[in-house]
């Protein structure tokens, strides 16, 4: 294993970890890079989960230390996401590598469009009472989010944020719920990839070191402003990566 690859992944992991906590989309960078390094797509997908897991452990701790962690809502959202993630991870292993690359490229472009035209931060909704119907809708939406997250992970943060904004939470609490949900469904999804021997541990650990640092930084930046430059950089890089995945 080339030491330069390890250092590259660690550095990339820092940026991806920050982005994942602030909004989502860090895997749009890490997944293609792992594939470009020669990993089969399912192995790249499974390897990426090590970093996601470690980053979110650190991020959850960061949010809890700031007293902005809505535990009841986080647990409510997590249970259906866990179930969905099993289905999604199994789908990711079963499909062909070429099809996964094409889906990943399409997801990358789709999420970039969401990043450019994201209305989440402009949306203001009064806090809503959780009626039985609202609760059922929330559970179902997070079951679907779990399937998506287990399958590909990239951009799941945007889905979680959109799903929670309608309940009137502020963005800081939404980010806290997001990292908690992702942490626990990642444990389940990663177990599926490990069971099928689809994880490269050295590269995953290198990426995890950077992601953990980025997760800690991101959890503290979440209450501040000034991270738009990261998104601009990511948009440029991800578009290039998506083109390379499909045509090169």
Domain residues for the domain of 159 are 11-247
pLDDT tens for residues 51-87? Answer: 888 888 877 887 777 777 777 888 889 999 999 999 9
* Residue 236 covered by a domain: yes
**pLDDT exceeds 50 at position 125:** no
pLDDT at 122: 47
At 44, list the tokens.
């790249």
As for how many domains the chain has, the answer is: 1
pLDDT tens for residues 215-232? Answer: 778 767 655 554 565 566
* Residue 6 covered by a domain: no
The Cα-based distances of 245 to 66, 104, 194 in angstroms read: 40, 8, 25
Helices vs strands, H then E, count in the chain: 10, 0
pLDDT at 155: 76
The average pLDDT across 107-134 equals 64
The Cα-based distances of 51 to 9, 62, 123, 161, 248 in angstroms read: 10, 17, 31, 21, 26
197: exposed, middle or buried (Cβ count in 10 Å: 0-12, 13-18, 19+): exposed
**pLDDT exceeds 90 at position 186:** yes
pLDDT at 248: 55
**Secondary structure (3-state) at 178:** helix
CA-based nearest residue to 39, from 187, 206, 184, 155? 206
* Residue 1 covered by a domain: no
**pLDDT exceeds 60 at position 233:** yes
* Residue 4 covered by a domain: no
At 30, list the tokens.
């890490």
DSSP output for 180-193: HHHHHHHHHHHHHH
* Residue 17 covered by a domain: yes
* Residue 189 covered by a domain: yes
* Residue 2 covered by a domain: no
* Residue 118 covered by a domain: yes
The model's pTM is 0.81
**pLDDT exceeds 50 at position 126:** no
């Amino acid at each position: 294993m080339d030491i330069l690859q390890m250092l590259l992944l660690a550095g990339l992991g820092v940026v991806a970890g920050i982005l994942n906590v602030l909004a989502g989309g860090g895997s749009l960078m890490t997944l293609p890079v792992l594939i470009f390094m020669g990993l089969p797509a399912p192995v790249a997908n499974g390897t990426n989960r090590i970093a996601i897991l470690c980053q979110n452990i650190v991020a959850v701790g960061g949010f809890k230390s700031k007293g902005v962690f809505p535990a009841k809502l986080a647990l409510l959202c997590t249970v259906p996401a866990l179930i969905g993630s099993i289905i999604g991870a199994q789908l990711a292993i079963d499909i062909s590598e070429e099809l996964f690359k094409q889906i990943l490229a399409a997801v990358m472009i789709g999420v970039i469009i969401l990043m450019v035209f994201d209305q989440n931060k402009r949306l203001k909704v009064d806090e809503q009472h959780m009626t039985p119907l609202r609760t059922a809708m929330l559970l179902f939406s997070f079951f679907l989010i779990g399937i998506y997250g287990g399958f590909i992970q990239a951009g799941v943060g945007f889905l979680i944020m959109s799903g929670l904004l309608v309940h009137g939470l502020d963005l800081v609490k939404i980010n806290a719920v997001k990292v908690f949900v992702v942490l626990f469904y990642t444990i389940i999804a990663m177990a599926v990839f490990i069971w099928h021997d689809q994880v490269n541990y050295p590269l995953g650990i290198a990426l995890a070191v950077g992601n953990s640092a980025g997760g800690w930084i991101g959890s503290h930046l979440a209450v501040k402003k000034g991270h738009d430059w990261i998104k601009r950089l990511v948009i440029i890089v991800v578009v290039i990566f998506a083109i390379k995945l499909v045509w090169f």
